[in-house]
Structure 1
């Protein structure tokens, strides 16, 4: 069993990858994003080279390609995952989480920003925790202004600037927000990265951000009903308790615990992966039912979820890992497959504003034939090439699945069988 993890700098996750002198981040090129030039954005990141590997991986994830994101992310092994898997008892992570969360008011779950499998786990968790009385969902990626979701839709930020987070346009992330709203959760923004003084070093910037996040979450609790419960969704190490690293950093969860006296249940989905895209997510326990975590995570997180890896020779399975949570796999009409260069296919509902996140979005190279993943309904599909211009457009209807089966009800990868479009 192969276990992989993120680079240390990415796992700590408080600051972006350093930018070489003269390089221009596409995030700062609002005209490109405003034009829908996602192909140009990918090419711009790729041209910079390995210094922006993590940023390139985030963009591939945003464009429905977890396989390319994983390859670009330059991940390395993390000790302990194999040992836990060999010695522990495999357990359904949703069942374990439900049991551990019974007496907790606050649950914190992290994600890998360029592995949407983490967000698929969030989708699985939401109905369970709602039934257990959880009422609020705090998301790191939401703007502090709280203006990037409304009327059941997710606003896709394109303008850059202080409050800009690129994650909302990733289809699985948008599905998380839509699902949370549909279940009746109250959404809570709590993060703001640029609060330290300009001359602060890296550790000072991290510490400043963690303090602000924890303070805002603590304030959220004071305004919630006394019987309300809070789910916090964050990136990487923000959910760590205890002290971390040679600088003895206090991450958000630890600061929150110290500030409120509440010990949050913390769940890590980023450190350990399974060997194949069709594997079911799993966690491991000791014979007494207590969760087992790798040695480096002891005292930091309460449980770890091993997520499927978007690798292997089966391109449809690798590119589609966990994307079945979005809906049924649906064939893209031949007229919308790129032929003269890379392209991005998007699926929105008729009349849906172009500044909202699509229900699916997929980066394709010439010759690649991959499905979209969509819930039942009618959609307008568009193909954009470099420059952002729409090269082709068509309507498509996705039928309800046979036998009333609901897409995305399991943590394993769905079948590779692709439903025809019409």
Structure 2
């Protein structure tokens, strides 16, 4: 099955600042994706029309490279094609567009730091931002506790994510079991494919064919967890509806038709990208999916923003409120601010009900510890011995009870290289390591080491024991 490639809708706000959205759209829809007309000329006095033309050409080239990469045998081989194409082309519009495509592959192979460097959405202060929570009588509380309290009387909870930053999926994964215990019945996620939803229900585990982003292990874990917890999985995203209102309205209608029209007593959890979940205002020149959903269903969803108050690869891209809050507090888990009446603070009061702050990342063996999902997944060290001197190699862990087509529970790439090696021999954002670690729930797994030609060079079974409890 050929992947549907999410094409981006890109707004250039300043010469070195890209604000972007990923949207699966048709070819016809893509030709209108820069219609907002707010792009800035480059430092060479390029007109907005010329800059838009360069971006569209870069999008065409990015798609062609991605299709070529997907013909390679294995995910690591595909990533290497993408990285080489990025390294070989310094043209500004190409790097701006293609960096997002590359970042998806970097998340799929577990290189989350590399993905953040390839693509991120800067968060300057904007006119509709609320004042910093540090300026009022707001108190910090754990995000999971507050969200569960806010969700108790809601029929629907909408979480958003940044597709190139899987950190923004972690809290949603951690909350699924507790939301299920509160009576939520259905789970929907962006870019799940309608034709694969029934196969997922029968098979019991996600594969890369289930949706575009499910190749990324934490996204796959999210779908896997929802399936195991007994949620009804909903593929709502309109694959052929185009972009803007057509897609947003179709997605909202599908959510209503597949969930509340069939069962008025249902309760729904949705995971979607960026502004698809904003409940008011203008989105992509029209209305968002959540805004259409409110109108169609007469249900006001709890909208949880997780995309704006996160750490970026460059500190100057962090929102100033985020920087100040991190300097004032040193949180160990995602948190939100509430007032004395437990009303939550939100960066965008008209758009979202609550905004989540994610702590700055800490790393171990080159991987961020948030991959451990709040300590529920335990670190398992892996070394170059598994690679049998075939570098680079990718270490994958799959649940022992699932097939080879299952999305890996976690992945890491190892690469032993000469520090003077040419760029063509480097992967993982131009660095190499002889060791790393996977993060896995307690249980039985099948570990595989795969080389750059898609060949399995070694495999073994491992058991992750539960963490020892303190006496």
Q: What is the TM-score of this pair, normalised by structure 1? A: 0.80
Give the CA deviation at 1:22.
Answer: 4.3
Aligned to 1:260: 297
Aligned to 2:65: 25
Say if 1:117 and 1:308, in contact at 8 Å, map to a contact too.
no
Give the CA deviation at 1:147.
Answer: 4.4
Closer, same or farther: CA 72–335 of 1 in aligned 2, 3 Å: same
Q: Distance in 2 between matches of 1:379 and 1:318?
A: 20
Aligned to 2:230: 184
Aligned to 2:450: 384
Q: Does 1:298 align with 2:336?
A: no
Closer, same or farther: CA 124–378 of 1 in aligned 2, 3 Å: closer
Which of residues 122, 130, 138 is equivalent to 2:180? 130
Q: For 2:395, what is the secondary structure of its paired residue? A: strand
Q: What is the TM-score of this pair, normalised by structure 2? A: 0.72
Q: Please, which runs of 5 or more residues in structure 1 have no aligned partner?
A: 1-6, 158-163, 197-204, 406-422
Deviations 1:269-328 (A, max 9, x none): 10112578983111112333211112xx22111111112344x6x453753323345621
Q: For 1:95, what is the secondary structure of its paired residue? A: helix
Q: Distance in 1 between matches of 2:439 and 2:186?
A: 28
Bigger RCO of structures 1 and 2 (CA < 8 A, at least 6 apart): 1
Closer, same or farther: CA 151–165 of 1 in aligned 2, 3 Å: closer
Farther off after superposition, 132-141 or 343-352 = 343-352
Q: For 2:74, what is the secondary structure of its paired residue? A: coil
Q: Which of the pair has more CA radius of gyration?
A: 2
Say if 1:98 and 1:129, in contact at 8 Å, map to a contact too.
yes
Aligned to 1:414: none
Give the CA deviation at 1:346.
Answer: 0.7
Q: Does 1:323 align with 2:375?
A: no
Which runs of structure 2 are paired with 1:203-352 in the superposition (5 Å)?
205-244=243-282, 248-273=285-310, 279-294=332-347, 297-310=348-361, 314-316=363-365, 318-324=367-373, 327-337=377-387, 341-350=391-400, 352=402
Alpha carbon RMSD of aligned pairs, Å? Answer: 2.9
Say if 2:69 and 2:82, in contact at 8 Å, map to a contact too.
no
Farther off after superposition, 75-84 or 368-377 = 75-84
Aligned to 1:10: 20
Say if 1:309 and 1:321, in contact at 8 Å, map to a contact too.
no
Say if 1:137 and 1:232, in contact at 8 Å, map to a contact too.
yes
Give the CA deviation at 1:78.
Answer: 3.0
Which runs of structure 2 are paired with 1:147-162 in the superposition (5 Å)?
147=198, 149=200, 150-157=202-209
Q: For 1:371, what is the secondary structure of its paired residue? A: strand
Which of residues 437, 449, 466 is equivalent to 1:371? 437
Q: Does 1:61 align with 2:111?
A: no
Q: Distance in 2 between matches of 1:89 and 1:298?
A: 17
Q: For 1:180, what is the secondary structure of its paired residue? A: helix
Q: For 2:101, what is the secondary structure of its paired residue? A: helix
Q: For 2:351, what is the secondary structure of its paired residue? A: coil
Closer, same or farther: CA 12–26 of 1 in aligned 2, 3 Å: closer
Q: Distance in 2 between matches of 1:255 and 1:12?
A: 19
Give the CA deviation at 1:110.
Answer: 0.7
Which runs of structure 2 are paired with 1:21-100 in the superposition (5 Å)?
21-23=60-62, 24-27=64-67, 29-32=69-72, 35-48=73-86, 49=89, 50=95, 51-79=97-125, 83-85=132-134, 87=136, 88-100=138-150
Say if 2:367 and 2:437, in contact at 8 Å, map to a contact too.
no
Q: Distance in 2 between matches of 1:194 and 1:76?
A: 30
Aligned to 2:163: 113
Say if 1:327 and 1:373, in contact at 8 Å, map to a contact too.
yes
Say if 1:61 and 1:116, in contact at 8 Å, map to a contact too.
yes
Aligned to 1:408: none
Say if 1:39 and 1:342, in contact at 8 Å, map to a contact too.
no
